[in-house]
């Protein structure tokens, strides 16, 4: 039996791995190398099956290879070609028709039909023709090698243009940071026989009650009254320290500002790639592990917090990696898997809240870290928890990108429904945690930053910092904990208060500063604290009066 494989037909292999490598090159911060390898193997395996299938029909190795390459190119360029056509319409002034609908299902179906017809037409012409197969094969080999080479060149450029750091410092950051954390002296003292469990629950993008009511028409007072009744302290004037998740969480979990961390350690910590390291391996977990704590975490569906090194990690079940999501979204598979992707994410949010509620006591003390990517978009819950599927493809896009592809009104409606549901759901979760704990735990529920209907991550002038940086921030500190808290506390001080109150940590409290920082260059931070109005005192008074 003759096989279709010959060195001369190398192009189908390269056309199969090109989409995987190019996605990695563009998103190298978010994607783990292991995920790249798995995706490349799967795509390669399926591509070889297609190749063998076509060969079995045509009995011509060159023709089979050429058709396989054309198919792979069209399949993985499906979305990018649609973008190209959409942009062409934009240039022709027809954007009103297309741009508003470019993500809607009907456009995607029409586009699939167009691509299918193109492929069928090409196949028909190609099989009838007497084209020189040797020459086509040679050109396809050259093109595919050039594409792969371009990916490697762009990855190389990314590596040497590391901003303020040298390439060597950039590459060795992870190890140096791990050493830095490992060498940090244990500062906490065991002041109780069994120290309390600590629940650190981040509800991504949960805004402050004045933002919720004034911009979104959502009344969060039931949750706040409930929490007050249970003995929580709700910091009603709280602000985020940073505008986006990666900066915020790496700061909060290391209870310091990133510019101070850089200055203190001599390690330049303000690169996206480094932020993931700062979140995975952080001072909070280190200090608590010194005291014998276990780290419990949850898969979040967000690459920075998806795989926190933990003693126990809970996951809602299988869901695609970021790499797989991007491959799906670029290909026609998006049409068939989008609803499943929404279901997976909904399942993850509900599973995490339920598991937190049911966790119950354990022998060892635990730091339980749950990063819940909600009410952050996608907006998947209506106000009573009913499933809502957006018309966009599955993504964690936010701010200007999301508002641009829908409308500000749609954003506000979607967020309002989702946050209303979560506000109710959190109440159930807290009731569960308190009921199932043998000794009172420490609980923190926090938005890492606020919502984003008026947020341009590149441009402060174009951003409503009051909306983006006023956060929900509530503490259950059993015993005398509340006396250390104040209305304007920001998350950078969260673990300083906890460690000082319960473990004699002796940490100095830091000034509460809110920084705006453009996504592309986290080092260009601007102190915007003074631009954020305080929570309306009149409303606060009426809230306090309504308490039983």
Give whichever of 79 and 449 is closer to Zn ion, judged by the CB atom: 449
Give whichever of 204 and 237 is closer to Zn ion, judged by the CB atom: 204
Give whichever of 375 and 441 is closer to Zn ion, judged by the CB atom: 375
Give whichever of 306 and 448 is closer to Zn ion, judged by the CB atom: 448
Nearest alpha-carbon partner for 14 in 132, 157, 153, 143: 143
Nearest alpha-carbon partner for 481 in 248, 252, 189, 196: 196
- With beta carbons less than 8 A apart as the criterion, state whether 205 and 375 touch: yes
- Plot region of 479 (φ>0 → left; ψ -120 to 50 → alpha; else → beta): left
Give whichever of 38 and 460 is closer to Zn ion, judged by the CB atom: 460
- With beta carbons less than 8 A apart as the criterion, state whether 509 and 485 touch: no
Strands, sheet with 294-298, edge to edge from the N-terminal-most edge strand: 233-234, 473-476, 442-446, 198-203, 366-372, 294-298, 312-314
Nearest alpha-carbon partner for 539 in 207, 206, 213: 213
Minimum separation from the CB atom of position 240 to Zn ion (A): 9
Give whichever of 243 and 500 is closer to Zn ion, judged by the CB atom: 243
Minimum separation from the CB atom of position 243 to Zn ion (A): 9
Minimum separation from the CB atom of position 423 to Zn ion (A): 17
Minimum separation from the CB atom of position 244 to Zn ion (A): 6
Give whichever of 36 and 396 is closer to Zn ion, judged by the CB atom: 396
Give whichever of 284 and 374 is closer to Zn ion, judged by the CB atom: 374
**24/16 Cα distance (integer angstroms):** 14
**411/421 Cα distance (integer angstroms):** 16
Minimum separation from the CB atom of position 268 to Zn ion (A): 23
**333/321 Cα distance (integer angstroms):** 15
Minimum separation from the CB atom of position 449 to Zn ion (A): 5
Minimum separation from the CB atom of position 472 to Zn ion (A): 12
Instruction: Give the number of residues written for the chain.
Output: 548
Give whichever of 241 and 287 is closer to Zn ion, judged by the CB atom: 241
**173/27 Cα distance (integer angstroms):** 19
List Cβ neighbours of 352 (8 Å cut-off, separation of 6 or more). Answer: 298, 300, 314, 316, 370, 372
β-strand partners of 442: 198
Minimum separation from the CB atom of position 74 to Zn ion (A): 36
Contact set with Zn ion (CB under 5 A): 204, 245, 448
What's the angle, vertex CA 63, arms to CA 58 and CA 65, rounded to 5? Answer: 110
Omega of the bond leading into 378 within 30 degrees of 0 (cis): yes
User: What is the number of the residue whose Cβ is closest to Zn ion?
Assistant: 245
**489/233 Cα distance (integer angstroms):** 11
Give whichever of 245 and 300 is closer to Zn ion, judged by the CB atom: 245
**328/79 Cα distance (integer angstroms):** 10
Minimum separation from the CB atom of position 404 to Zn ion (A): 19
- With beta carbons less than 8 A apart as the criterion, state whether 454 and 254 touch: no
**505/498 Cα distance (integer angstroms):** 8
**188/165 Cα distance (integer angstroms):** 33
Minimum separation from the CB atom of position 249 to Zn ion (A): 8
């Amino acid at each position: 039996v003759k096989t279709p494989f010959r060195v001369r037909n190398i192009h189908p292999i390269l056309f199969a791995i090109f989409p995987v490598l190019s996605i990695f090159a563009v998103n190298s911060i978010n994607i783990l190398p292991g995920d790249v390898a798995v995706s490349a193997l799967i795509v390669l395996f399926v591509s070889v099956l297609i190749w063998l299938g076509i060969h079995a029909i045509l009995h011509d190795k060159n023709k089979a290879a050429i058709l396989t390459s054309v198919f792979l190119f069209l399949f993985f360029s499906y979305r990018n070609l649609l973008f190209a056509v959409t942009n062409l319409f934009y240039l022709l002034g027809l954007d009103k028709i297309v741009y508003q609908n470019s993500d809607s299902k009907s456009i995607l179906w029409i586009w699939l039909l167009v691509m299918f017809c193109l492929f069928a037409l090409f196949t028909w012409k190609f099989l009838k023709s007497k084209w020189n197969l040797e020459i086509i094969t040679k050109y396809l080999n050259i093109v595919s090698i050039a594409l792969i080479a371009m990916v490697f060149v762009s990855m190389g450029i990314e590596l040497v243009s590391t901003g303020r750091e040298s390439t060597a410092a950039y590459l060795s950051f992870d190890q140096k940071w791990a050493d830095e954390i490992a060498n940090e002296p244990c500062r906490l003292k065991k002041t109780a026989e069994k120290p309390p469990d600590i629940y650190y629950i981040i509800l991504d993008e949960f805004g402050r009650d004045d933002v919720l009511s004034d911009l979104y028409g959502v009344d969060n007072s039931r949750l706040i009254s409930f929490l007050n009744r249970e003995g929580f302290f709700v910091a009603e004037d709280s602000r985020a320290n940073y505008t986006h998740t990666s900066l915020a969480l790496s700061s909060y979990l290391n209870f310091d500002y990133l510019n101070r961390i850089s200055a203190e350690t001599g390690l330049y910590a303000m690169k996206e790639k480094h932020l993931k390291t700062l979140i995975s391996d952080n001072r909070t977990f280190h200090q608590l592990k010194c005291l014998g704590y276990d780290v419990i975490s949850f898969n979040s569906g967000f690459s920075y917090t998806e795989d926190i090194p933990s003693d126990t990690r809970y996951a809602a079940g299988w869901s695609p990696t970021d790499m797989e999501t991007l491959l799906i979204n670029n290909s026609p598979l998006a049409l068939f898997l989008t609803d499943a992707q929404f279901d997976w994410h909904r399942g993850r949010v509900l599973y995490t809240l339920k598991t937190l509620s049911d966790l119950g006591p354990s022998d060892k003390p635990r730091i339980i870290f749950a990063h819940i990517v909600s009410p952050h978009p996608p907006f998947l819950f209506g106000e009573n928890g009913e499933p809502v599927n957006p018309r966009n493809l599955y993504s964690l896009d936010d701010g200007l990108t999301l508002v641009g592809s829908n409308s500000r009104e749609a954003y506000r409606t979607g967020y309002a429904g989702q946050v209303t549901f979560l506000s109710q759901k959190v109440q159930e979760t807290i009731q569960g945690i308190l009921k199932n704990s043998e000794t009172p735990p420490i609980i923190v529920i926090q938005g890492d930053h606020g919502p984003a209907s008026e947020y341009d991550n590149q441009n402060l002038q174009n951003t409503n910092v009051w909306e983006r940086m006023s956060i929900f921030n509530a503490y259950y500190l059993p015993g005398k904990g509340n006396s250390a808290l104040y209305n304007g506390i920001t998350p950078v001080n969260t673990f300083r208060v906890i460690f000082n109150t319960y473990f004699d940590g002796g940490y100095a409290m830091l000034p509460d500063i809110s920084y705006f920082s453009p996504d592309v260059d986290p080092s260009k931070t601007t102190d915007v604290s003074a631009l954020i109005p305080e929570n309306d005192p009149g409303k606060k008074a009426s809230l306090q009066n309504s308490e039983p």
